[in-house]
Chains A and B, each alone.
Chain A
Amino acid sequence: MKIYLAILFIFSCLTVSAQESYFYLNWDVNVPMTNKDWIGNSSTRGAKAGYRHFIGDERKFAAGVDFNWSYYQEYKPTETFQNPGGAITTDYFNEIFQIGLVVSGQYHFPVGNREHFFPYAGLGLGANRNDYSVLYNIYQDQESKWGFLARPEAGILIRIGTRRKLGAMAAVHYDYSTAGSVNYDYNNFSNVGFQLGVMLMQW
């Protein structure tokens, strides 16, 4: 929790001091695309926040940092796993907790008078950590991996009123991470995310 509040504080300071920039905070729903036998459920427990600064006067290009986390969980009914020297029977939960931090750049397409709608496409590159866990009864097995994260993203910023600094934001992104797991049969991890939230703009 402390780290989240620290990030909020930093972003708040940036939005107050910087010009031609925006801070956003989005609810992030993610659909896993890799090894869906292990976890196929979508994650509704996720968020994405970031700060982006416009480069130049025309508000075409922006660069910034994005931080995200998401949590996947799926229940597996009781099954028996045979091995050469015995067997184990249990029901269990598979879980993945994911955090990521990328440096991103965006191109904003000119639409209309450039006062209300700012559609954009961008790319983020950075690192992420995946915690793969299996919970059975009171026991837990876990494997944590760091990896490279690439995130193409497209979305739109919507300014509610020209005098208001508060706006809405919606985007879709594809995440490809090399933070796979040998134990749980992930060579890599990828997901598609849909985000919706608010932004606080400085211009």
Chain B
Amino acid sequence: MQIRLISFGFVLLVSWSCKPEADALRLLDELVVSTNYDTGADFGTYATYSIATDTIGFVSNAHPNDTIIVQSSQNTYPRVVLESVESNMDNLGYTRVEKDQNPDLRINVYVINDFNLFQQIVYPSYYYPSYYGYGYGYGSYYAYPYVNTYATNTGSLVVEILDLKNITPNNTVKVIWSAYMGDVYSTIDLIKQSKDAIDQAFVQSPYLGI
């Protein structure tokens, strides 16, 4: 009888003292915003930028043939995030121009989906080709150490600023600023949280601006 009582108490105690899950609502009600920049870049020397109007990039190992997300009546996400980026750039004093008007900066916006989760510090010692053709045919590279975060069945919204003013002789461009915002697949309110995250990305980057 006493053994049973102890056993019951043991099970009860284990049930109570087992590791509880953290409050998911608190964790998921805002995106993690990570920004990195080229400390050698002088953001005051740039005046104009270009950005897509209603299309953002899409990189997914689950859907390798889909490379863009297009604004539509069913999917208003592209325009929301693009307008949010544009609004922040305008507030900083930059002027948006068309891509054939020789802009100083190019802004890429894309979503990374369905990668394995890991974090890695990457040091700028290599070049890689532009992944979906928004770089005007240029390759691009990072000029500063940064942290990459990838996750399977999850996704990050990424905003990159490319330096078109200082294109290297072999047609590559520097990524002089980037923002990673995640996770966009577990959000409670995707549109609001994405807009808030983009605003926060610019707030925590006071070196941007003319």
A-B contacts counted at CB < 8 A amount to: 122
| A137 in contact (CB, < 8 A) | yes
Report the minimal beta-carbon distance from A178 to chain B, rounded to whole angstroms: 23
Interface 9-mer from B19-27, B60-68, B69-77, B128-136: B19-27
Give A117 to B182 CA distance when docked, in angstroms: 58
Give A198 to B4 CA distance when docked, in angstroms: 13
Give A15 to B2 CA distance when docked, in angstroms: 11
Report the minimal beta-carbon distance from A131 to chain B, rounded to whole angstroms: 9
Choice from B2, B13, B31, B36 contacting A47 with Cβ under 8 Å: B13
Give a binary string over B1-27; 1 marks a CB under 8 Å from any A CB, 0 the rest: 011011101100110111110110011
| A104 in contact (CB, < 8 A) | no
Give A47 to B3 CA distance when docked, in angstroms: 18
Please give, as numbers and ranges, the residues of chain B lying within 8 Å of A23 by CB-CB distance: 6
Give A91 to B149 CA distance when docked, in angstroms: 17
Cβ < 8 Å to B, chain A residues 128-144: 135-139, 141
| A73 in contact (CB, < 8 A) | yes
| A176 in contact (CB, < 8 A) | no
Please give, as numbers and ranges, the residues of chain B lying within 8 Å of A139 by CB-CB distance: 32, 117, 119, 149, 151, 182-183
Q: Do B17 and A87 touch across chains, with their CB atoms under 8 A apart?
A: no
Known: A84-B39, A86-B35, A90-B30. A135 touches B204 (CB 8 A): no
Give A139 to B149 CA distance when docked, in angstroms: 9
Give A4 to B15 CA distance when docked, in angstroms: 11
Give a binary string over A83-122; 1 marks a CB under 8 Å from any B CB, 0 the rest: 0111111111101010000000000000000000000000
Please give, as numbers and ranges, the residues of chain B lying within 8 Å of A47 by CB-CB distance: 13-14, 17
Please give, as numbers and ranges, the residues of chain A lying within 8 Å of B204 by CB-CB distance: 80, 82, 87, 89
Cβ < 8 Å to A, chain B residues 157-210: 182-183, 186, 200, 204-205
In the complex, the chain B residue whose C-beta lies closest to that of A198 is B9
Give A82 to B20 CA distance when docked, in angstroms: 31
Please give, as numbers and ranges, the residues of chain A lying within 8 Å of B151 by CB-CB distance: 138-139
Please give, as numbers and ranges, the residues of chain A lying within 8 Å of B32 by CB-CB distance: 88-90, 136-137, 139
Q: Do B117 and A85 touch across chains, with their CB atoms under 8 A apart?
A: no
Please give, as numbers and ranges, the residues of chain B lying within 8 Å of A27 by CB-CB distance: 13, 16-17
Q: Do B20 and A73 touch across chains, with their CB atoms under 8 A apart?
A: yes
Q: Do B14 and A165 touch across chains, with their CB atoms under 8 A apart?
A: no
Report the minimal beta-carbon distance from B96 to chain A, rounded to whole angstroms: 24
Give A196 to B92 CA distance when docked, in angstroms: 61
| B145 in contact (CB, < 8 A) | yes
Q: Do A70 and B17 touch across chains, with their CB atoms under 8 A apart?
A: yes
Q: Do A87 and B2 touch across chains, with their CB atoms under 8 A apart?
A: no
| A162 in contact (CB, < 8 A) | no
Q: Do B20 and A138 touch across chains, with their CB atoms under 8 A apart?
A: no
Please give, as numbers and ranges, the residues of chain B lying within 8 Å of A78 by CB-CB distance: 30
Cβ < 8 Å to A, chain B residues 32-74: 32-37, 39
Please give, as numbers and ranges, the residues of chain A lying within 8 Å of B22 by CB-CB distance: 73, 75, 93, 95, 135
10 A-B pairs with the lowest CB-CB distances in the bound complex, closest first: A86-B36, A90-B32, A87-B204, A93-B22, A89-B33, A88-B34, A45-B17, A138-B183, A137-B32, A47-B17
User: What are 24 inter-chain pairs, A to B, with CB distance below 8 A?
Assistant: A27-B13, A45-B17, A73-B20, A75-B26, A84-B39, A86-B37, A86-B146, A87-B35, A89-B204, A90-B32, A91-B27, A93-B23, A95-B22, A97-B19, A136-B27, A137-B31, A137-B32, A138-B151, A138-B154, A138-B183, A197-B9, A198-B5, A198-B6, A200-B2
Interface residue ranges, A against B (CB under 8 Å) = 1, 4, 8, 12, 15-16, 23, 25, 27-28, 45-47, 49, 69-71, 73, 75, 78, 80, 82, 84-93, 95, 97, 135-139, 141, 165-166, 197-198, 200
Q: A1-B14, A93-B26 are in contact. List 10 more A-B contacts (CB 8 A).
A: A12-B6, A23-B6, A28-B17, A45-B20, A46-B17, A47-B17, A91-B26, A93-B22, A137-B31, A139-B149
